[in-house]
Amino acid sequence: MLEPMTTTDPQAAALAGFAALIADETRAACLLALLDGRAWTAGELARHAGVAASTLSEHLNRLVAGGLLTEERQGRHRYVRLADARIAHLVEDLAAPLAPRAARQPRSLRESSAGSAMARGRTCYDHLAGRLGIVVTDALTGRGLLRQDTGFALTDAGVRWFAAAGIGLDRHGRRPLARGCLDWTERRPHLAGVAGAALCRHALDAGWCVRIGTERAVKVTAAGERALSELLGIEASALR
């Protein structure tokens, strides 16, 4: 009788372990919520996932041990966030193709409004997404600041544009300067990577965008409309 084959490939074991970690609806709900790039308390995530705090604590322990989340304790509160941008991109990339199948009709006017706000503009971990992310990405591409023909790449003019706009680019890490991230509502890639994160951070810090509600939705302010019009030629109507 033949013995069952086993693998000694460490990558295979790691991949299977990762799949097991996300193959749970409660843990998946936590990962998706944390795509807003912020730290959540265990209590907030428990309410979001609709489970008891004790139950969620077990799930968080597994996600932290598996390297998907990092944690920090302040007093009696336990805060968790996604471990890094690589984990965020992986979660977003896995979720994007499933979004159309998972979509359902909103059950209330409030839910419909929240969904519309997320589609207009939101953060995808640390960069802009939704129609806002696509409009900005298209404007950068149209002005020759970003290339999409052979993958995402900032041009020399694009690097100079970021510097002139006062948006610093941290080019010392291993993270790519520009990266395409598939937008699950627009079905097209928006700008991620170092440049996407820097642009999003600057937009929030400068008051070009503000967060709305408790989800990832963001709204462009009047100051943001003026700045994006001056810097990228984007019409205000495209940002609303």
Same domain, yes or no: 53 and 148: no
Residue 93 domain-assigned?
no
At residue 179, the 3 state secondary structure works out as strand
Half-sphere exposure for 145 (CA within 13 Å, toward CB)? 21
Write 129-133 long-range contacts (CB < 8 A, 24+): 129/181, 129/183, 129/185, 129/190, 129/216, 130/183, 130/185, 130/186, 131/185, 131/186, 131/238, 132/209, 132/218, 132/220, 132/239, 133/183, 133/186, 133/190, 133/191
Mean pLDDT of all residues in 116-131: 90
Provide the domain count of the chain: 2
Furthest-apart CA pair in the chain: how many Å? 75
- What integer pLDDT is reported at residue 8 of this predicted model? 67
**Residue (of 65, 69, 66, 67) closest to 30 by Cα position:** 69
Q: Which residue has the higher pLDDT, 7 or 93?
A: 93
Statement: residue 232 has pLDDT above 90: yes
**The two three-digit tokens of residue 181, written as one number:** 């991230």
**The two three-digit tokens of residue 30, written as one number:** 């936590």
Residue 106: CB atoms within 10 A of its CB come to 13
Same domain, yes or no: 65 and 129: no
User: Tell me, what DSSP letter sits at residue 153?
Assistant: E
Question: Residues 139-160: pLDDT tens digits?
Answer: 999 999 999 988 899 999 999 9
User: Tell me, what DSSP letter sits at residue 4?
Assistant: P
Same domain, yes or no: 219 and 133: yes
Decide which of 66, 83, 100 is a domain's last residue.
Answer: 83
Residue 4 domain-assigned?
no
Question: Residues 73-114: pLDDT tens digits?
Answer: 888 889 999 998 889 888 888 877 665 544 445 455 454 455
Residue 103 domain-assigned?
no
Question: Residues 45-75: pLDDT tens digits?
Answer: 999 999 999 999 999 999 999 999 999 988 8
Same domain, yes or no: 73 and 187: no
- What integer pLDDT is reported at residue 14 of this predicted model? 84
Residue 139 domain-assigned?
yes
- What integer pLDDT is reported at residue 90 of this predicted model? 87
Distance (Å, whole) CA 154 – CA 73: 38
Statement: residue 7 has pLDDT above 80: no
Same domain, yes or no: 116 and 235: yes
At residue 9, the 3 state secondary structure works out as coil
Decide which of 83, 102, 119 is a domain's last residue.
Answer: 83
Question: Residues 159-174: pLDDT tens digits?
Answer: 999 999 999 998 888 8
> Contact, 205 vs 126, CB < 8 A?
no
Same domain, yes or no: 167 and 210: yes
Same domain, yes or no: 120 and 51: no
Statement: residue 201 has pLDDT above 60: yes
Same domain, yes or no: 47 and 153: no
Same domain, yes or no: 231 and 119: yes
Decide which of 68, 83, 98 is a domain's last residue.
Answer: 83
Q: What angle do CA 131, 184, 129 make, to 5 degrees?
A: 40
Statement: residue 181 has pLDDT above 80: yes
Q: Which domain holds residue 50?
A: 12-83
- What integer pLDDT is reported at residue 235 of this predicted model? 95
Residue 92 domain-assigned?
no
Same domain, yes or no: 116 and 223: yes
Same domain, yes or no: 201 and 138: yes
> Contact, 140 vs 160, CB < 8 A?
no
At residue 19, the 3 state secondary structure works out as helix
Statement: residue 183 has pLDDT above 90: no
Residue 104 domain-assigned?
no
